[in-house]
Structure 1
Amino acid sequence: MSNTPAAADSRSPGTEDTAVAVLQPDTAAKAFVGRSPGQLAWIRLKRDRTAFASFIIVVFFILIALFAPVISRLYGVTATEGFSDKLTYQGLPTGYLGGISGDHWLGLEAGIGRDLFMQLIFGMRTSLIIAFLSAIISIVLGVVLGIVSGYFGGWVDQSLTWFTDFMLAFPFLVFALAIIPIINTASYDVGEEVPGSFRIAVIIGVFALFGWMTTARLVRGQILSLREREYVEAARAAGAGSAHILFKQLLPNIWAPILVSFSLALPGFIAAEAALSFLNIGVVEPTPDLGRLVYYGRQWLGTPDWAYFLIPASTVFVAVLAFNLLGDSLRDALDPKSSK
């Protein structure tokens, strides 16, 4: 009989196991889960120790800039408050290493008597505001011009490419040294003080004017390789307009190079802003600024108050280095082939 124990034992030993495997797929297969390019980039970024360290430093500087007024209230000293009573007749702070004490964690500015810690906090705030706004405006300009140039082609591409090359031919530093003082003096009457906010706006405008070209060329190259893809042709066939194709179909596919371009533009703007202030062209008194601190501190290198120069110079160096390393790590994470 077919239902006897002998008949049951005559089945192949692996038959039951095979049936179970078909009804219950191997759980190991569930471990292979598809990940998006963004998720893969995030995984690679978390494994990069350099990226992690630079990210911590960048976040630290950003938090300091954001909460500078709160830090000032907790610290009990403002950025412009002077302590001339704690200076010698030569203008040097009393005490060691520029007057470092429990009341003044990084000492006092030689010759002025302001708290150096507060000057650094608000100076970083000024630098990051200028850098972030300049980067955002320049990236937006570069993306728009690059997309339009690469997608439409023809005379539009030729005109924008020529204009981009024309702007790249201008020496940025020479132009900034010439145009910033002219704009400041032409906007206000003789003897009238130029507000610090206006000076900052002029610097941001000049940076944005000369910061979009690299992004525009990068985006143009990406669009040239994407505009003939199947999904773009399908959008055209469906009757989608040019604006929809540009900003709904093409732009989401080039977010990675745009993000890398933004992250690499920030340290350049921080260094450029510090250089202009060092040359007394950028932010001036009484607005705190890192570049001006370095300029004032250089004359005290041969004195016991050498920390007055070393502290702000090291702050600029660490900030620019951290932003650069984070940008490089982000680029490698989004495009692993770039490091090979």
Structure 2
Amino acid sequence: MSNTPATADSRSPGTEDTAVAVLQPETAAKAFVGRSPGELAWIRLKRDRTAFGSFITVVLFIVVALASPLISKLYGVTPTAGNAGLLNSEGLPIGYLGGISADHWLGLEAGSGRDLFMQLIFGLRTSLIIAFSAAIISISTGVVIGIISGYFGGWVDQALTWFTDFALAFPFLVFALAIIPIINTASYDVGEEVPGSFRIGVIIGVFALFGWMTTARLVRGQILSLREREYVEAARAAGASSAHILFKQLLPNIWAPILVAFSLALPGFIAAEAALSFLNIGVVEPTPDLGRLVYYGRQWLGTPDWAYFLIPASAVFIVVLAFNLLGDSLRDALDPKSSK
């Protein structure tokens, strides 16, 4: 009787089943891939069409604002250059819709003859510089105060909470209307022109002074719920310093609400800056600004140059709306309980 080796067809069924069973755990592992909270938030954000549209709009505005000097060079017109020869005897631009032409895409500014497109993009740069600077300073201040208050508790928490409530009692608009002109006039001699950069710095300082309280309360509440967690106790037991626990253990776990607070603070600062410039308290001539464009454009609503008011007003509306929608979408994406 010959001993013939077993062929592939003569293998027992159990061998194939065992091979499949061995491969099944790997297949199952590939089917269920763990994702971090950041990856889950990114998936939710990509599915949100509103978030995508607002993100593209925000990026477009930021790129245009950053590239405004290059655009001015390619466009061939500076924001302060006047075109008196293109104005009629009443100071209105000659042509259709405020002098819109191939040389001046959005027309001319009534009275001065400055190119409205250049005024718009440089005014957008001014608004975004103020908004981003104020948001970074105010959010950072609120994070530091909130994390210290929530972690240490006791009299430290009571003192910082009282200080936060005290700051919230001040009406922002009334205080800004009062303090900004006082700072500008007190810093320079009578009759001396206040530089535009100094005015911008004052506005950023006032916004930062009144913009940190909400973030401080938010961060304090988050820290109160995290300071007794196991990893914090383990860090204490290992002899970690308070600074290490605050900024290495706790802070990375509250980045989501901080990011949402930052994204929602930006449109508020943009709108507030435009309102102050509209009231002739914020940025003034010759620095381009969206709020000032709206202020000067309102007097031409009853004339054929109504576009001079509509264009900058629409720009303010679109910028604020895009930042607000992006902030709301970001909040929904970072919320684990969100249905999106």
Give TM class, smaller chain.
Answer: over 0.9
Task: Quote the offset at 1:5 in angstroms.
Answer: 9.5
Write the deviation string for residues 25-62 of structure 1: whole angstroms up to 9, x where unpaired.
Answer: 35353132111100110111011000000000000000
Opposite residue 108 of structure 1, the aligned amino acid is L
Closer, same or farther: CA 216–302 of 1 in aligned 2, 3 Å = same
Query: Partners in 1 of 2:64 and 2:165 — Cα distance?
Result: 38
Opposite residue 194 of structure 1, the aligned amino acid is V
Query: Partners in 2 of 1:302 and 1:246 — Cα distance?
Result: 58
Closer, same or farther: CA 339–81 of 1 in aligned 2, 3 Å = farther
2:331 counterpart residue number:
331
Cα RMSD (Å) of the superposition? 1.9
Residue ranges of structure 2 left out of the alignment (5+ in a row): none
Closer, same or farther: CA 10–101 of 1 in aligned 2, 3 Å = closer
1:101 counterpart residue number:
101
1:125 counterpart residue number:
125
Equivalent pairs counted in the alignment come to 338
Write the deviation string for residues 93-139 of structure 1: whole angstroms up to 9, x where unpaired.
Answer: 00000000000000000011000000000000000000000000000
Closer, same or farther: CA 296–339 of 1 in aligned 2, 3 Å = farther
Write the deviation string for residues 180-235 of structure 1: whole angstroms up to 9, x where unpaired.
Answer: 00000000000110000000000000000000000000000000000000000000
Matched, 1:116 2:101: no
1:140 counterpart residue number:
140
1:154 counterpart residue number:
154
Query: Partners in 2 of 1:91 and 1:27 — Cα distance?
Result: 76
Closer, same or farther: CA 153–338 of 1 in aligned 2, 3 Å = farther
> 3-state SS of the aligned residue for 1:24?
helix
Opposite residue 306 of structure 2, the aligned amino acid is W
Please list, as runs of the form range in 1=range in 2, the aligned pairs for 1:1-340 lying within 5 A after superposition: 13=13, 15-25=14-24, 26-337=26-337
Task: Quote the offset at 1:18 in angstroms.
Answer: 2.4
Closer, same or farther: CA 65–276 of 1 in aligned 2, 3 Å = same
Write the deviation string for residues 279-312 of structure 1: whole angstroms up to 9, x where unpaired.
Answer: 0000000000000000000000000000000000
Identity %: 85
Closer, same or farther: CA 73–11 of 1 in aligned 2, 3 Å = closer
Query: Partners in 2 of 1:112 and 1:84 — Cα distance?
Result: 7
Query: Partners in 2 of 1:192 and 1:78 — Cα distance?
Result: 25
Query: Partners in 1 of 2:305 and 2:337 — Cα distance?
Result: 48
Output the TM-score relative to the length of structure 1: 0.96
Closer, same or farther: CA 192–304 of 1 in aligned 2, 3 Å = same
Closer, same or farther: CA 102–10 of 1 in aligned 2, 3 Å = closer
Task: Quote the offset at 1:338 in angstroms.
Answer: 5.1
Opposite residue 124 of structure 1, the aligned amino acid is L
Task: Quote the offset at 1:24 in angstroms.
Answer: 2.7
> 3-state SS of the aligned residue for 2:305?
coil
Query: Partners in 2 of 1:145 and 1:9 — Cα distance?
Result: 74
Task: Quote the offset at 1:21 in angstroms.
Answer: 2.2
Query: Partners in 1 of 2:17 and 2:238 — Cα distance?
Result: 48
Output the TM-score relative to the length of structure 2: 0.96
Residue ranges of structure 1 left out of the alignment (5+ in a row): none
Write the deviation string for residues 235-292 of structure 1: whole angstroms up to 9, x where unpaired.
Answer: 0000000000000000000000000000000000000000000000000000000000
Runs ≥4 in structure 1, deviation > 4 angstroms?
3-6, 8-12
Write the deviation string for residues 159-182 of structure 1: whole angstroms up to 9, x where unpaired.
Answer: 110111111111000000000000
Query: Partners in 2 of 1:34 and 1:78 — Cα distance?
Result: 54
Query: Partners in 1 of 2:37 and 2:29 — Cα distance?
Result: 21
Query: Partners in 2 of 1:207 and 1:29 — Cα distance?
Result: 51
Query: Partners in 2 of 1:336 and 1:105 — Cα distance?
Result: 46
Task: Quote the offset at 1:23 in angstroms.
Answer: 3.5
Task: Quote the offset at 1:22 in angstroms.
Answer: 3.8
> 3-state SS of the aligned residue for 1:82?
coil
Task: Quote the offset at 1:12 in angstroms.
Answer: 6.3
> 3-state SS of the aligned residue for 1:35?
coil
Closer, same or farther: CA 101–337 of 1 in aligned 2, 3 Å = same
